[in-house]
Amino acid sequence: MIDERIKQDLIQIVGQQNYTDNLIDMVSYSYDASEHRARPSCAVWVENTAQVSEVMKLANREKIPVTPRGAGTGLSGLSVPAHAGIVMDLTRMNRILELRIEDRLAVVQPGLIYADLEKALAPHGFFFPPDPSSGKVCTMGGTVGTNAGGVKGAKYGTTRDYVLGLEVVLADGRVMRTGGKTIKNVSGYDLTRLMVASEGTLGIVTEIALKINPKPTVTTTAMATFNDLEDAGRAVAEVMRSGILPSVLEILGRETILAINQNTDLNLPEVEALLLAETDGYTKEETDFQMDKVAEVFRRNNPGMVKLAASQGEAADLWKARKSAYAVLARIKTHFVLEDVTVPIGKVPALLKGIQAIAKKHDIQIATFGHAGDGNLHPQILYDGYDPEQVKKMEAASDELFKLAISLEGTLTGEHGIGLSKAAYMTLEHDAVSLDMMRTIKRAFDPNNILNPGKMALDAA
């Protein structure tokens, strides 16, 4: 319950129509796409930077937690208000403020939906490459907050590589501008990069200046199957050595393939691993040339088969398998955890084998797919959340999975973020000195710990 006086102050700032503590809103703001849940005391729909600033001043004065939120599609509990307080919904700040193609610049508000940016850029032949799979609904603020990535990570990087500057409201309500609107900028500390992936723990992003790219117009797609994970892994590593950088290089593991076959009529070969590659460019000669090299690598590594898509239609059919993975797996059990551990590309086969061993050991279903081209895999642990035994198994399997990734010189998370899900594992990846520095930075930005508290293990002493 929110204190009546604070409620009135909030209404004063955002207006009656933009304040809510209705049950239906409080329940919906208790969740994101993860398994976490925590109910806020109230929520505000902010419309401009000034309102964000005033809300923060009030929250800071009264020491009330504020959890910023976009579309709530996160998979780690980033926008779940772990310490209750105010949920700040930024989806109504959804405008494109500037589009300057010659400057390769788009300035947007945090509530803008990724797909709407894509739609605005398309007529100019440009795009914003990170391409998260939740793109038709996720917001740019969330994209920045998690440093979102997607299938094009290997060639095009992640959100971080495109953020030029930000407007950020700090915990005390002051408004800070970072970076700028130029492609190059080495002026002062890189506060922009510090904010990207900070999960709303350092400030509330209210404006984003993005670098945009010209969009290649031609692609070539191919698929290869492998009966041995080692072969698939070697193929991936060799592609990376070949001098060709595919725009997409995805992998589907056996469990995922079986699940797809059981639930669709795609009839995929039931092999250990399936690789899907795409090359992009501006002429067919160019993309075919690249793909020939990739296919050559595939053929050298004992594939079951290598298939080049002869047409756009055939390419779309090949992608259907990858695109259906999430939906198919989501239907198998009532609950799942979708992880995003990432390892150096050469260690992808070891990670895949390790995941299989973990699934066997704990007698739990783990289906894996992901971005082989950047070492970022998505083991999806399927379980029944109403069965305490299965929950225990899921937790034990997650635990081992994180340890495995770290032992392979990897990271807990390649694109989903730490949030609540992985907060307990921060010490596994970060040494005491670096955690201490993170906490020092957090205190400098947010001495009262009101910004998205409970996340990233920053509150721990």
Partner 1 sequence: MEAKYDFERKYREQILLCSRCGFCQAVCPVYGATLRPGLNARGKMLLLKEVMDGRIDLSDELIETLFQCTTCASCTHNCPSGVPVPEIIKAARKDMVAIGSCHPAFKGMNEVLKKHTNIYAEDEAEDFGRQKKPAAKYVFFAGCVGLYRENDATEAALAVLDKLNVDYTLIEEVCCAGVLEDVGFALNDALVQTNIDRILATGAEAVITGCPYCARTLNNKMQYAPLRAKGVIIMHIAQFLKDYDLGVHTDKKVTYHDPCDLGRHCGIYEEPRQTIRKLAPNFVELAHHHADALCCGAGGGVRGAYAKNSIDMARRRLKEVEEIGAEVVLTECNSCVHNLGNAKLRKQKFTICTTTQFIHDLMEETD
Count of residues interacting with partner 1 (CB under 8 A): 32
Taking CB under 8 A as the criterion, which residues in 65-124 touch partner 1?
A: 71-73, 89, 91-92, 113, 115
Taking CB under 8 A as the criterion, which residues in 8-67 touch partner 1?
A: 20, 22-25, 27-34, 45
What is the C-alpha to C-alpha distance for residues 457 and 436, in angstroms, rounded to an integer?
A: 11
Which of 330, 424, 437, 460 binds partner 1 (CB under 8 A)? It is 330
Nearer to partner 1, 7 or 39 (CB): 39
Taking CB under 8 A as the criterion, which residues in 290-329 touch partner 1?
A: 326-327
Which of 134, 256, 398, 413 binds partner 1 (CB under 8 A)? It is 134
**Strands (DSSP E) found in 273-419:** 273-281, 303-308, 335-338, 365-371, 376-383
CB of 89 to partner 1, least distance (A): 8
Nearer to partner 1, 81 or 173 (CB): 81
Contact at 8 Å (CB) between 112 and 209?
A: no
Nearer to partner 1, 97 or 330 (CB): 330
CB of 335 to partner 1, least distance (A): 8
CB of 116 to partner 1, least distance (A): 10
Residue 129, φ and ψ in degrees, nearest 5 = -70, -25
Nearer to partner 1, 31 or 289 (CB): 31
Which conformational region is residue 414 in: left (phi greater than 0), alpha (psi within -120 to 50 degrees), or beta?
alpha
Is residue 456 involved in binding partner 1 (CB under 8 A)?
Answer: no
Question: Is 263 strand, coil or helix?
Answer: helix
Nearer to partner 1, 115 or 357 (CB): 115
Tokens standing for 358? Answer: 């973990």
What is the C-alpha to C-alpha distance for residues 374 and 360, in angstroms, rounded to an integer?
A: 26
Burial group, residue 267, by CB count within 10 angstroms (0-12, 13-18, 19+) = exposed
What is the C-alpha to C-alpha distance for residues 389 and 384, in angstroms, rounded to an integer?
A: 9
Helices 229-241 & 284-300 angle (0-180, nearest 10): 140
Q: Is the dihedral of CA 189, 191, 193, 197 positive or negative?
A: positive
CB of 72 to partner 1, least distance (A): 6
Nearer to partner 1, 89 or 446 (CB): 89
* Binding region for partner 1 (CB under 8 A): 20, 22-25, 27-34, 45, 71-73, 89, 91-92, 113, 115, 134, 136-137, 326-327, 330-331, 334-336
